[in-house]
Amino acid sequence: MNWKLLCILFSCTLILGCGSKKNFIVLTPTEDGSVGALQVENQKGSAILDEEGKAIYVADKESVPSEPTAISRPEIDAFFKEALQVHPLMPQSFLLYFLFNSNQLAEESQQKISEIQQAIKDRDSTDIAIIGHTDRTGSDAYNQQLSFKRAQAVQKFLTENDVNGDDITITYYGEGNPLIPTADNVAEPRNRRVEVMIR
Amino acid sequence: MKKYAFGCLAFIILCCYPIVSTATEVVVGKVQGTRGLVSIFRDGKTKPAFPHDKVFLSDTIMTGSNGAIGILLEDNTLISMGPISRLEMKKFKFSPAKNEYEMSLKMGQGSFVYQSGLLGKLAPHAVTLDTPVGKISMLKGTDFRARFSE
């Protein structure tokens, strides 16, 4: 075996290898495990990426995008190490439920507090949205007020449990935004809710 | 005397407030985490970026050689970038109530981790990203990573 030739071949592979990996786009699975699709397009051509762990390489705007090519997970993670260290957590949403025609929190919902506190801590969040809703029994106007009272009850509940009141914003929709669509005047416990969104 | 000074201060604040608030800045998201030197280029000026800072339409976010930044957009799209990266917020509309969706970002050089939010779910075709090698169009909401070197 000619060592010199082998060395030259090896260096060529390295250089070409690195060169071709200058620019690439790689698909990764979403948190729920699903995989979507995207298209990369320039004047010279286009390619579709719809499989996780596959990458499209493109030298520049004047070059045809490659066919999707497999790339190893450790390699992907190494290239994006610094970004991943500061990658934010997805906002987390909690649904708290209420007794019929009341701003009294259901017992099970009160037990959510430690999870809510943890979600705030994990995100170092100063952006907590409280969104009030009702079911469709009673008039629109009454339910607007009831959803507001429910949102206020959750605000009180959170601030009593060491959540900073300045970080909270309140909105309310009455019966106008049901989780489970029903006809008017139908009692639906799952619509008697307040959403707490930690961003 | 002290009372007088407070009065003056209140007056100055009141005078300045309308000037600040009339600027029609559209919030598109906020900074969540940073590392090293990171900055935002806005209205011809560059300022350092910190966690909880708002990100406005037309902002360009930049990282230094030791920098990294993570941002959360209004629709819950998450984007982080590593050292020597640039990202411009060109267009952003997210109002489900009005059925208005649009997002157009310009990625410069750098390394990007993109986690799709509600725009990707509700209106993937409204999402486009300009990159140094061409245009990325979202066909179906997806997470991806991209790296561009100059």
Residue B147 CA to residue A18 CA, distance in Å, equals: 13
CB atoms within 10 A of CB B134: 26
Taking 50 as the pLDDT cut, the residues of chain B under it are: 13, 18-22
**Cβ–Cβ under 8 Å, residues B95 and B110:** no
Residues A136 and A190 in one domain: yes
Q: Where in chain B are the domains?
A: 25-148
* The residue to which tokens 């920098």 are assigned: B67
Residues A76 and A117 in one domain: no
* The residue to which tokens 């000037």 are assigned: B19
Residue A54 CA to residue A173 CA, distance in Å, equals: 44
In a domain, A11, yes or no: no
Residues A70 and A106 in one domain: no
**Cβ neighbours of residue B60 closer than 8 Å, sequence gap 6 or more:** B40, B41, B42, B86, B87, B88, B89
- Comparing alpha-carbon positions, the chain B residue that sits nearest to A167 is B52
Residues A79 and A129 in one domain: no
Backbone conformation region of residue A64, classed left if phi is above 0, alpha if psi is from -120 to 50, else beta: beta
Contact A28 B68 (CB under 8 A): no
Residue A188 CA to residue A78 CA, distance in Å, equals: 50
**For the segment A19-57, what is each residue's pLDDT rounded down to a tens digit?**
457 899 999 998 888 889 999 999 999 999 999 999 999
The answer on pLDDT for A15 being more than 60 is no
In a domain, A3, yes or no: no
Strands of B143-148's sheet, edge to edge? A69-70, A54-57, A24-28, B143-148, B110-115, B78-81, B68-73, B27-35, B54-56
Q: What's the full length of chain B, in residues?
A: 150
**For the segment B33-59, what is each residue's pLDDT rounded down to a tens digit?**
999 999 999 999 999 999 999 999 999
Which CATH number characterizes residue A152's domain? 3.30.1330.60
Q: Is the ipTM of this complex over 0.85?
A: no
Which residues span the domain enclosing A153?
Answer: 92-198
Measured distance between the N- and C-terminal CA atoms of chain A, rounded to whole angstroms: 62
Among candidates A36, A48, A91 on the partner chain, residue whose Cβ is nearest the Cβ of B116? A36
**For the segment A105-141, what is each residue's pLDDT rounded down to a tens digit?**
999 999 999 999 999 999 999 999 999 999 999 999 9
Residues A109 and A130 in one domain: yes
Question: How many structural domains compose chain A?
Answer: 2
B60 CB within 8 Å of a chain A CB? no
H or E stretch covering B74? none
Among candidates A28, A37, A60 on the partner chain, residue whose Cβ is nearest the Cβ of B145? A28
More confident residue, A19 or A159: A159
pLDDT of the residue at A5: 59
Q: What are the φ/ψ torsions at residue B59 (nearest 5 degrees)?
A: -65, 145
Q: What are the φ/ψ torsions at residue A34 (nearest 5 degrees)?
A: -80, 160
**Cβ neighbours of residue A75 closer than 8 Å, sequence gap 6 or more:** none
Domain boundary among A85, A106, A140: A85
| Amino acid making up residue A109 | S
Residues A188 and A154 in one domain: yes
Residues A75 and A102 in one domain: no
Contact B146 A65 (CB under 8 A): no
Alpha-carbon distance B1 to nearest alpha carbon in chain A (angstroms):
32
- Comparing alpha-carbon positions, the chain A residue that sits nearest to B66 is A82
Question: A81 contacts in B (CB within 8 Å)?
Answer: 82
**What is the average pLDDT score of chain A?**
91
3-state class (DSSP) for residue A28: strand
Share of chain A above pLDDT 90, in %: 84
